[in-house]
Amino acid sequence: MKDTDFCTCKDFACPCHPSNHDKGCTPCILKNRRQKEIPACFFKDIDCQKPTDGWHYEDFAELVKTAKDKGVL
Ligand code: SF4
């Protein structure tokens, strides 16, 4: 399986997206860690509307909390 097969991120304009190079998830992970963010695929794994606009650790924590409160996680 290629990384592009399972990547659920739709930001195809991002230079880190696996469709734009042959380095798999590595550039995305490095960029996210540098910015203290969580990759989009983790957000998309949770079937719940994001309660915040950002992609930082705190935004993911808010999404997890919201999903748990709604009983979808
Ligand atoms: S880590 Fe980044 S590149 Fe890899 S699947 Fe998730 S969003 Fe896509």
Q: In angstroms, rounded to a whole number, what is the distance separating the alpha carbons of residues 9 and 14?
A: 10
Write the CA distances from 42 to 1, 4, 7, 35, integer angstroms.
19, 15, 10, 16
With vertex at residue 11, the alpha carbon angle to CA 44 and CA 71, rounded to the nearest 5 degrees, is: 10
Q: Which ligand 1 atom is at minimum distance from the Cα of 42? A: 6
Query: pTM value?
Result: 0.93
| Domain-located, residue 2 | no
pLDDT for res 6 = 86
Ligand 1 centre to CA of 26 (Å) is 8
pLDDT under 70: residue ranges of the chain: 1-3
Test site for ligand 1: of 25, 33, 38, 46, most ligand atoms within 8 A of the Cβ:
25
Structural domains of the chain, count = 1
| Domain-located, residue 61 | yes
pLDDT for res 7 = 95
| Domain-located, residue 31 | yes
**Domain carrying residue 13:** 9-69
